Structure 1
Amino acid sequence: MKRLALPALLLGAALLLTACPQTPPPPPPSASCAPTPQGLTLQALPPEPQGLGDFSAPHVPGELLVLPGGITPQALAGRVEGVELLGSLPGGFLRVRVSPGEEAAKAAALLRAGARWVQPNYLYRPLFTPNDPLYPASPLDASRLQPYYQAIRLEAAWDLLGSPRCTPVVAVLDTAFNPNHPDLQPSLLPGRNLTPDGLAPEDLSPSPPPQGYAYTDGEADHGQGVAGLVAAVADNNRGIPGAGLNRVKVLPLKVFYWVGGEYISSSAVLAAALRYAADQGAAVANLSLGTSTPLDGVVQQALGYALSKGTLPVASSGNAGTDGLFYPAAYPGVLAVGSARLDGTRSDFSNYSTQPADLVLAAAGNKNPLQTLWSLALGQNYPYYQTLGAYAKWVGTSFAAPQASALAALYVAEHYARYGRGPSPDQIRLCLTQTASNGGSYDPQTGYGLLRADRVMTDTTYCFP
């Protein structure tokens, strides 16, 4: 296969990219790649937590998530005044309402009344560094994608792809999506709104804000930008090519909604989306979001469920530029993805980990000096939200993760083509970490190093033994 030619983007009323490939990539086959289960039983999943969560962390006001243990929900709620049952979550957790400001006190009372574990309904934020509107517009645009893809040897990997036999699915759990965007629509599966924002389950548009609140620039465009790096349509004389090169489908799952005055996600919604992605047969779940809060029993349990069904969670490492991965990237079984500059060194904003973790890097910009990369924006305005346009410049670990997710999906398709079955999540994670630029060695600043897509497609030790 010839490499895609990616001329510079031009700024104007519309942003178009003229690609002149000698041989376009083949259209994706109709069959999907069924993920290979990890082989976990429910008994082998992480043990249920016991005690209290961290109530100093951001959370949904007036809500608790409770693991009741051996007590019936009604009996437990009846033992503590001011606790209202709202419903149950998969995995045995209960969602309850208490008076805002009394979350910690009521949690302690529920624990004394016999509950096994009580936590807040934690909040998860999209992990990106906002783009700067004063980027120069010229044919020498430094934000074009080609240097970023070349940094992880993606073009070389595209040349090595065989004939696809199935189309892997990447679930993108994020802010909002425009299914009619012409540079993404052919790559999208029917999505799902998992939030309690009052919109229909199939409505992926930004959630209407409460009275008196408004979006910031680019806030809701985030999900479209992440999905674009996975699967924007290649060779259509428009915009950008996704890293999946027309061989990957995206399952868009809206998990962000307004909680008080913030556009954010929560433990309950994120866990429901992870389970939904796994039940829909996604090979990868992209999580360009996070929190510094440790031990969210609801989300950790959902991650274990996804792994047991064969879905690999891929999560951004965090944008604080400090030691310690954000969650869910820090949980066992998750492939954590940080950001590198174009020279391969760690981006100044990217979280790292002095403790060994399943951490790799993809090139996704820098703050100082500034490096940004193009991806999609919603391209459709709403009465309460004005999009950045059809395309926007992005930077952050949020835009490193989808490159890794797309590469993981390409590996699944190639594994399926060779062996008639997909790899397990452990196999995918091992392949991507051990073939990265640090040669299987762990570095506290860069983890296992920059992804090497060319090695992922050729390695006979870890990827195709």
Structure 2
Amino acid sequence: MTKTFRAVHLFCAATLLLMTGCQGFHTAQTPSQIATPQNKTVGSAMVNPDSETDLQMSSLMPSDFGIKDQVPLEAGAKIPGRFIVKFKADVSEAEAEEIRDEVNAVHLGYIQRSQNLEVLESENLSESDQTYAELKNNPNIELVEQDALVAITQIPAPTASYPINDFLFKYQYGQIKTQAQQGWALAKDGKGLGENTIIAVADTGVDGSHPDLKDKIVQGYSAFASLPYNGDTHGHGSHCAGIAAASTNNNIGIAGYAPNAKIMPIRILDNSGYGTLAGVSAGITYAADHGATVLSMSFAGPVYSQVIENAINYALSKNTIAVAGMANTGSNAVMYPAAYAGVIAVGATDSSDKRTSFSTYGNHIHVMAPGVNIMSTIPGTNYIQWNGTSMATPAVSGLVALIKSVLQDLTPVQVKYLIKLGADDMEAPGFDIYTGYGRMNVYKTLYYAFLKLSLMK
């Protein structure tokens, strides 16, 4: 299906609608018209002046009135001099008109006549802030809100692609399916490529000498006295680390999803790929206490553990995002840590953008990511293609790092929502137990992240 995207922020229902595809807009040379007792004609429509709602504005923006720069056409932009006002129930029309005169504003129309909710427009836009303050402080006014722009949330087609010179990138179909290059091209002002983020890879360790990983490693942790955090005999942890954040544009190997993120090896699995509840919980705690932005967990087991759930909750309380693979059972078996509340649970897709037959499913699944024939790093100077939700998980962890490099204060719940918002829907419309909210999309998710950032300014 075609997904309907929703704005990250919601605005008052009375705000104006803006078509982002428009080539421009017209601003009148006189103030918007004051409602009159006669019927108003707009095109072929007739508006009864006594109806509950009779608001019809002559232009998107008020007239210039000497203001040199117009308000930027973007969602959230405040409209100077235009206010939504609700007079108290005992205020007469004569008293309301006196207040309008005092602030030098005209009545444009009613949003809800029975509720005394109307729109006013200042006749001197250069005094917009003063007018707002006077309305806000007037004891006869119950509510005042400055009007603002909203916009359709159709995402514009990508206009640029981030250039990549890594020679194995041609084998990384996952980055193509998820529009990673288009997403990276949105980066600006030191945000959007994973800057100032750390991906904790809880796994078999990470080979800190691999040419595509050696410049990315920060101090990590090993639950095993004889196994260093920056070593990896098995290869699974190094493979996951490369997917998430391998060095990019260094003319060798592959490109990680978060080109500028750092990697924190958390070695909680031994050389055969096994670990313990104690070691896992200790590793999670270490990552949370040492500044990990996101915790990538490509392991699974059927045993619920209060200790590990407590550790994950501890990490979430420190704003460390938790991501885990759904596992490879091909059934609805409940597997942990993906099934713990608050974790972003990840399933796997193939090169045809279909759910793989091995991807575990269930009510807790959140999003899908490429997990078949995924090219990445293994110990030494080597690369290999592997399959599994283990490979899908670090892709989402890399996406989390990208998001947090744009919006560093987002909570785990907010990050989870942005990933949902940007995902490409699959199979049944909306959420389903097989594919969650769909396959992750780097471009769309970062588009929403930068949109939210612009609305916060």
TM range (shorter): 0.5 to 0.7
Q: Which runs of 5+ in 1 are unaligned?
A: 8-16, 20-140, 208-219, 366-371, 380-388, 417-421
CA–CA distance in structure 2, aligned partners of residues 337 and 462 of structure 1: 25
2:278 to 247, 252, 268: 268
How far is the alpha carbon of 1:173 from its aligned partner? 0.5
Q: What is the match of residue 352 of structure 1?
A: 361
1:51-70 mapped onto 2 (5 Å cutoff): none
Aligned to 2:264: 251
Distance in 2, matches of 1:399 and 1:284, equals: 16
For 1:148, give the aligned amino acid: G
Q: 1:330-409 counterparts in 2 under 5 A? A: 330-353=339-362, 355=363, 357-365=364-372, 372-379=373-380, 390-409=382-401
- 2:215 match: 186
Task: Check if 1:222 corresponds to 2:222.
Answer: no
Q: 1:203 to 1:346 in 2, by over 3 A?
A: closer
How far apart are 1:186 and its partner, in Å? 0.7
Instruction: Say which of 202, 205, 212 aligns to 1:173.
Output: 202
Deviation at 1:203, TM superposition (A): 4.8
Q: Residue deviations 1:159-204, cap 9 Å, x none? A: 1112226411110000122111111111111222122xx316x454
2:297 match: 287
Output the amino acid matched with 2:435: T
- Mapped to 1, the partners of 2:385 and 2:218 lie a distance apart of 25
Number of positions where the alignment pairs a residue of Structure 1 with one of Structure 2: 290
Q: CA RMSD in A?
A: 2.3
CA contact (8 A) 1:456 1:463 kept: no
Q: Which amino acid in structure 1 is aligned with residue 301 of structure 2?
A: T
Deviations 1:230-285 (A, max 9, x none): 1111111111011112x211101111127xxx540111000000010000111100
Find the counterpart in structure 2 of residue 446 from structure 1: 435
CA contact (8 A) 2:298 2:391 kept: yes
Between the aligned residues of both structures, percent identity stands at 29
Cα deviation per residue 1:185-233 (whole Å; 9 max; x = unaligned)?
11111222122xx316x454357xxxxxxxxxxxx10000000011111
1:441–1:448 Cα contact (<8 Å) kept: yes
What residue number does 1:237 align with? 251
Q: CA deviation at 1:462?
A: 9.4
Q: Return the letter of the residue paired with 1:438.
A: D
Question: Where do residues 2-81 of structure 1 align in structure 2 (5 Å cutoff)?
Answer: 2-5=161-164, 17=167
Task: Specify every segment of 5 or more residues in structure 2 that has no aligned partner in the other structure, as ranges.
Answer: 1-159
Distance 1:358 1:321, change over 3 A: closer
CA distance in 2, matches of 1:238, 1:6: 8
Give the structure 2 partner of residue 13 of structure 1: none
TM-score, normalization by structure 2: 0.60
CA contact (8 A) 1:318 1:351 kept: yes
Cα contact 2:329–2:359 (8 A) shared by 1: yes
CA shift digits 1:60-91 (9 cap, x unpaired): xxxxxxxxxxxxxxxxxxxxxxxxxxxxxxxx
Distance change (3 Å), C-alpha of 1:164 and 1:375: same
- Matches of 2:321 and 2:371, distance apart in 1: 21
CA distance in 2, matches of 1:269, 1:340: 30
Match of 1:427 in 2: 414
Please say which structure displays the higher CA radius of gyration. 2
Maintained 8 Å contact 1:292/1:327: yes
Question: Given the superposition, is the C-alpha separation of residues 241 and 297 from structure 1 closer, same or farther in structure 2, using an over 3 Å criterion?
Answer: same
Distance 1:2 1:313, change over 3 A: same
Letter of the 1:408 partner, please give it.
V
Among 323, 326, 329, the alignment partner of 1:320 is 329
Change (3 A) 1:324 1:437: farther
Alpha-carbon offset, residue 349 of structure 1:
0.9
Q: Distance in 2 between matches of 1:204 and 1:410?
A: 24
Aligned residue among 168, 174, 183 for 1:148: 174
The answer to whether the 8 A contact 1:358-1:433 is kept is no
The superposition leaves residues 402-439 of structure 1 with CA deviations (integer Å, 9 ceiling, x where unpaired) of 010001110000124xxxxx211111111112321129
Structure having greater relative contact order (Cα 8 Å, sep ≥ 6): 1
Q: CA deviation at 1:304?
A: 0.5
Contact 1:184 1:232 in 2 (8 A): yes
CA distance in 2, matches of 1:320, 1:223: 20
Aligned equivalents of 1:338, 1:429: Cα separation in 2: 15
Q: How far apart, CA to CA, are the structure 2 residues paired with 1:345 and 1:203? A: 35
Q: 1:409 to 1:350 in 2, by over 3 A?
A: same
| 1:361-395 CA-partner distances (Å, limit 9, x unpaired) | 01111xxxxxx12100011xxxxxxxxx6111111
Mean Cα deviation higher: 265-274 or 148-157: 148-157
Instruction: Report the secondary structure of 1:167's partner residue.
Output: coil
Retained in 1: the 8 A contact 2:221–2:286? no
User: What is the distance in 2 between the residues matched to 1:187 and 1:281?
Assistant: 15
Secondary structure in 1 matching 2:396:
helix
C-alpha distance in 2 between matches for 1:154 and 1:395: 20
- Residues of 2 paired with 1:414 and 1:253: CA distance? 25
